[in-house]
């Protein structure tokens, strides 16, 4: 999986490209933790390039959402691809997240 | 290793999370080229179901220590059947909490996802190990 990070200081966009499964969950978590450590108060996860997602990656999203909420950090999921939409549909977990169509840095302004 | 027998295929793969990509590529190629499934959405659903059982084997049967897994895929008319075999510990479904979306819990979604995607799931523990059989009836064209 390719992970691209863009930041304007307080808002960081992490874009995932490729397979997001049990094997890739830890690297993604490291990037999210790194962004928070760097001072991000808003995180957007761009899921438009995700070609496959499993329940372990979904669990990472749930855990991240919980930790961000507890830390006062806004976590947004952007542009979920078809595989992401499928797993949300099956688990009904989309209701647990703030989901937007486009992953723009400006949305946190 | 992959072998072909008519409209059936077999993969021997190591139970390690890093092998998920290999499993995914084999499943997609097998479903399209060997089993003749042309619907992208159905292929995505079936890949997710088989992958979730495989992850269960990685974590529960072999406890992340690795081990051999054999996966077969077959088509009988409009019925698609996947079987997964391992030699790890037996699986106790009671060890997995029922998913509760309203609580956004972290565990318990894997098997729930498989139940949603497949028409029948059979699990049995034998002297040789564990056998999972997943069946899905395709809609006739």
Complex ipTM value:
0.89
Q: Is A78 exposed, middle or buried, given 0-12, 13-18 or 19+ CB atoms closer than 10 A?
A: buried
Which residues of A fall within a CB distance of 8 Å from B44?
Answer: 52, 82-83, 86
Please state the φ and ψ torsions of residue B5, each to the nearest 5 degrees.
-140, 90
Please name the residue of chain B whose CA is at the shortest distance from the CA of residue A22.
Answer: B17
pLDDT in tens, chain B (141 residues): 444 445 889 999 999 999 999 999 999 999 999 999 999 999 999 999 999 999 999 999 999 999 999 999 999 999 999 999 999 999 876 666 666 655 656 567 899 999 999 999 999 999 999 999 999 999 875
Which residues of A fall within a CB distance of 8 Å from B104?
Answer: 62, 65-66, 93, 96
CA distance B61 to B58: 6
pTM: 0.90
Quick check: A16 pLDDT over 80?
yes
**Cβ–Cβ below 8 Å for B20 and A19:** yes
DSSP state of B32: I
Residues 6+ apart with CB under 8 A from B34: B4, B7, B8, B9, B73, B75
CA distance A29 to A66: 13
Please give the average per-residue pLDDT across A9-25, as a whole number: 94
């Amino acid at each position: 999986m390719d992970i691209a990070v863009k930041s304007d200081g307080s808002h960081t966009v992490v874009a995932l490209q490729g397979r997001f499964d049990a094997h890739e969950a830890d690297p993604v978590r490291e990037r999210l933790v790194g962004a928070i450590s760097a001072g991000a108060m808003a995180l957007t996860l761009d899921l438009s390039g995700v070609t496959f997602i499993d329940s372990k990656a979904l669990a990472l999203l749930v855990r991240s959402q919980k930790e961000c909420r507890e830390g006062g950090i806004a976590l947004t999921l952007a542009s979920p691809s078809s595989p992401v939409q499928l797993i949300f549909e099956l688990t009904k977990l989309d209701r647990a997240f703030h989901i937007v169509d486009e992953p723009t840095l400006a949305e946190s302004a | 290793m992959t072998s072909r027998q008519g409209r059936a295929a077999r993969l021997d793969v190591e139970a390690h999370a890093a092998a998920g990509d290999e499993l995914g590529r084999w499943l997609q190629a097998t479903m399209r080229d060997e089993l003749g499934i042309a619907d992208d959405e159905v292929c995505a659903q079936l890949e997710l179901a088989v992958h979730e059982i495989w992850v269960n084997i990685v974590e529960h049967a072999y406890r992340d220590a690795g081990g051999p897994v054999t996966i077969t895929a077959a088509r009988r008319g409009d019925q698609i059947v996947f079987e997964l075999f391992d030699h790890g510990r037996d699986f106790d479904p009671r060890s997995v909490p029922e998913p509760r979306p309203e609580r956004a819990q972290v565990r318990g979604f894997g098997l729930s996802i498989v139940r949603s995607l497949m028409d029948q799931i059979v699990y049995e523990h034998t002297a040789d190990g564990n056998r999972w059989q997943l069946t899905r009836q395709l809609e006739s064209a």
